[in-house]
Structure 1
Amino acid sequence: MTNYVIDPPAISAVPVAGGGLFPVRRVFCVGRNYAEHTREMGGDPDREEPFFFSKPADALVINGADMPYPSKTKDLHHEMELVVAIGTGGKDIPEAEALAHVYGYAAGLDMTRRDLQGEAKKAGRPWDMSKGFDQSAPIGEIAPASHSGHPSAGKIELTVNGRVRQSSDLSKLIWSVPETIAYLSGLVALAPGDLIFTGTPEGVAAVERGDVLEGEIAGIGTVRARIV
């Protein structure tokens, strides 16, 4: 028996559609992976290679639980995303083999303290505290790829209080899921339990306490969060 000097942390896990839990190891996020969102954030979608940031595994919010409005911000933004759940790991994974490493997919929200992110960008500092704060990643159930298939197209949409804020199609991803997995696995060895948030379409905007966010990805599932 391992003699830990403190109690080990709980394993973060996401419910799987049909039953069971997906244990989460790491959470990677792709920045600026839809052309229109890249433009609205001041970037050039034709020149930029993919880049990544991370969130802690325990930042995930499951089962439609409320999300507390975080401290140290006055500009909390929603970012609706397709999430890829890695089932088998690997390094330098060829693009043609990438989908064989996917366990399933989910709808997720990359919540962002936009004012802190803007300040960090201006100062040339890391984004960590604008992206990786507590409860910054609401996520819906994971749909196993054995049932959902591997989506390359389909509506991705987010409503806030019943009004559409973001609406696009997965076919508009600049870097597809296989390309993203192949590129990321060249930077780090992917492992079972890793999640990849694949980027958000245009329409990101601020939310307030009391707002209800409801997102859906065709053929995959939904995510819901109320800001409190």
Structure 2
Amino acid sequence: MNVLTNNLDIYGSYFLTTIELFLLSGAASLIFGTFLAMLRVSPVPVFRAVGTAYVTLVRNTPLTLIFVFLVFAYPLLEILKLNFFVAAVVALSLYTSAFICEVVRSGINTVPIGQAEAARALGLNFGQVLGQIVLPQAVRSVVPPLMSMLIALLKNTTIASGFSVLEAGAIRQYLSERGENQLVGLLWVALGFVILVAILSLIQRSLEKRWSVAR
């Protein structure tokens, strides 16, 4: 307990940064990932090709390389200056959205095609069919895998510690500088992530009960 109580300032502020990283990149990933899924199922071949190319490229690129590009290569372009925290949010969002896209797309494929055809027969355009008919049902069917992607995102935030972002993954380094027991310190970090993942699991179960539908 001494390792925790003597370093509450580090644990508190760094885990707060981890939560901020997760919330911001999680929201961005859900929005961008859903947009990519819409491109993947679009009737326009060019849109489908763009969505497929992005997902294929990003899913096969290590997250660390995306961080390296945004932190070291992107500033050389001199387009828009990003601090380390913002660069981490962008990297996590770009990477996770590719996986969320595939989860959402699989959910879209579970919705009977007859419903989309009936909606089009009533005069709804492609965007209205997706937004009002297909996506609400698709999201209900993919809550577990979608939450798994968010849990993976939470754990991936630790990579940001290697790029000057002071979050939970950087706690060990600062405990070392203070002469604390690093093994015990890492156990407390692990416990912190277990608690956060447990909270996400409870949210998942709550959503599943609320959105459960007979199929």
TM-score category of the 2 structures, normalised to the smaller one: under 0.3
TM-score of the superposed pair, with normalisation by structure 2:
0.26
TM-score, normalised with respect to structure 1: 0.25
> Greater RCO between the two (CA within 8 Å, min separation 6)?
1
Greater share of strand = 1
Larger radius of gyration: 2
More helix by share: 2
